[in-house]
Amino acid sequence: MTSRIKGVIAAIPTPITAAGDPDAELFLKAARHLLANGCDGLNVLGTTGEATSFSVAQRMALMDAVAASRLPMEQLMVGTGAAAVADACTLTAHAAKLGFAGALLLPPFYYKGVNDDGIFTYVARVVEASAKPAVPIYLYHFPALSGVRYEAPVVGRLLKAFPGRIAGLKDSSGDMDYARGMAALSNAFDVFPSTEACLDEARTGTFAGCISATANLTAADCRKALRDGDAAALARAVAGRKSFDGQPLIPAVKARLAAVLQEPTLASVLPPMVAVAAPADKLLAAE
């Protein structure tokens, strides 16, 4: 396998056409902008990318467009989680075939109270379905939305059962003690909290970086903080994230990035999201 994706990773939004499909052309424009302005990588079709609001066919079509572009695939992971294990297998196998650097896998998120055996079996089927060619699997821990947790015992079982395949975890729980505990499971298990505030710990090697929705706007400062230990840049990045407090995060990120790129249609969202207007604030002016 190639070297693992690390550093500042933006959870890139998915532009939408008037027909409700992913707008591949505008997506590629946004992706190139982010990679040229501080991002070490991108999380395609994650939560910020409204992945679970698209059909499997729509998600695969955007993945195809990304793979056919000149974007560096070694810097891109893609969300492949789905409630149906067959859909997750299809999406993850497609990610493997196209050469994505990783597949970000939600746990099975419809049924609640699922035990570790059920979670293990779900992930195992996805891992086996994407073995030839193999794609690194990153577990996506977001219990506030999924209602299902990736806890240390089941993650440890997966690491033992599939050496080299379970590459890491994105932690969107906001619980830094949980993130540190996951990072301690294995030196070969890369953990990415979803906040820019973790970048000091990423510099020490505790974390592999961050995967953040707000990195779409804060990436330049995030890069300075991570690479140079620039405390002022880190403070600006953390403040930039905090400026979204009280707003619906995904529509607000899309609105601000739409203003930065001067592409108003990027602010469109799929139901059940509702679009918001981009504020004329200092962060936007700086970007």
Nearest-angstrom CA–CA distance, 198 and 208: 10
| Predicted TM-score of the model (pTM) | 0.95
- pLDDT of the chain along its 287 residues, tens only? 457 999 999 999 999 999 999 999 999 999 999 999 999 999 999 999 999 999 999 999 999 999 999 999 999 999 999 999 999 999 999 999 999 999 999 999 999 999 999 999 999 999 999 999 999 999 999 999 999 999 999 999 999 999 999 999 999 999 999 999 999 999 999 999 999 999 999 999 999 999 999 999 999 999 999 999 999 999 999 999 999 999 999 999 999 999 999 999 999 999 999 999 876 554 454 44
- How much is the pLDDT for 282? 47
Helix (H) or strand (E) holding 6, with range, is: none
Nearest-angstrom CA–CA distance, 259 and 262: 5
CA distance to 19, 20, 138, 207, 249, per residue, from 15 (Å): 12, 9, 24, 30, 15
List residues bridging with 74 in a β-sheet: none
Nearest-angstrom CA–CA distance, 232 and 33: 23
112: number of Cβ within 10 Å: 8
- How much is the pLDDT for 221? 98
- How much is the pLDDT for 141? 98
Cα of 114 vs its chain's centroid, Å:
24
- How much is the pLDDT for 277? 83
Buried b (16+ CB within 10 A) or exposed e, 230-240: beebbebbbeb
Place of tokens 């973790």: 198
- How much is the pLDDT for 244? 94
- How much is the pLDDT for 3? 77
Contacts of 82 (CB under 8 A, 6+ apart): 52, 56, 88, 91, 106
Place of tokens 């930065």: 260
Place of tokens 């953390």: 238
For 19, half-sphere exposure in the C-beta direction (CA atoms, 13 angstrom radius) is 5
Check if the beta carbon of residue 110 is closer than 8 Å to that of residue 83.
Answer: yes
Helix (H) or strand (E) holding 144, with range, is: helix 143-146
Q: How far apart are the first and last CA of the chain?
A: 36
